[in-house]
Amino acid sequence: MIVEERLVTYLDSLCWQLPEKLQETEIKAKEDGVPIIRRSMQSLLAFLIRLQKPQKVLEIGTAVGFSAMLMCEELSEQATIDTIEKVPARIRDAKQNFASYERKDQIRLLEGDAAAVLQELAEQHKQYDFAFMDAAKGQYMAFLQSVEKMLPAGAMLVTDNVLQEGEIIQSRYAINRRDRTIHGRMREYLHYLTHSPMWDSVILPVGDGVAISVKR
């Protein structure tokens, strides 16, 4: 936990009540051990959607569909979401959740490896004005190569889980050997977002860390 737990609990208590369908999805995901965005991140993501008012949303990492439905709650009826997932069990659960969701026609689930799907979307010259990245952390930099091609100036990119429970500040030698590659790649990703002339970015200690970037 990056921020003191009691403070997080208090702030979460101020959040709005999730719609019933999302409450059910959140509870089931927690029971099944499927990670979904934390309550503080839910509030921030919903706020950014309301602020940005996107019409075309790209999500990398569907999981069971919770965050896609959360974003859809804040979108206009004309807006759409393309969301990518490769794990068969999560694709199955996401399809079941979307099937009973009243705004399911606004969500398109794209199955397959995110890098390959993103490359295909870029080759189709797809354009999005909002992207939410919440997938394999070690691949964020690779995903970004295609994402950048599909976001015009003014588009927003929100990247979740960038502080790795605070371990991002540690020396690589203080990190378990098996985690060092991801640790190094995340540092590279954050350095790029905060130093590239293409992006205006801020890193916030919300949830497990979030990067908010606007395309220049």
CA distance 132 to 62: 10
List the structure tokens of 100: 């009973």
State the burial class of residue 131 (Cβ atoms within 10 Å of its Cβ: 0-12, 13-18, 19+). buried
Q: Which of 1-5, 122-126, 133-137 has the lowest mean pLDDT?
A: 1-5
Residue 109: strand pairing partners: 83
Q: What separation in angstroms does the CA of 9 have from each of 13, 16, 54?
A: 6, 14, 30
Position 8 confidence tier, pLDDT thresholds 50, 70, 90:
confident
Position 168 confidence tier, pLDDT thresholds 50, 70, 90:
low
- pTM given for the model: 0.92
The mean per-residue pLDDT over the stretch 119-136 comes to 96
Query: What pLDDT is attached to residue 137?
Result: 85
Phi, psi of 108 (to 5 degrees): -115, 120
CA distance 168 to 190: 10
Q: Within a 10 A sphere around the Cβ of 115, how many other Cβ atoms?
A: 18
Position 54 confidence tier, pLDDT thresholds 50, 70, 90:
very high
Q: Within a 10 A sphere around the Cβ of 82, how many other Cβ atoms?
A: 21
CA distance 204 to 209: 6
The mean per-residue pLDDT over the stretch 70-86 comes to 97
Query: What pLDDT is attached to residue 165?
Result: 59
Q: Would you list the DSSP string of 39-90?
A: HHHHHHHHHHHHHH--SEEEEE--TTSHHHHHHHHHS-TT-EEEEEE--HHH
Query: What pLDDT is attached to residue 206?
Result: 87
The mean per-residue pLDDT over the stretch 27-45 comes to 92
For residue 174, the 8-state DSSP code is G
List the structure tokens of 66: 């919770």
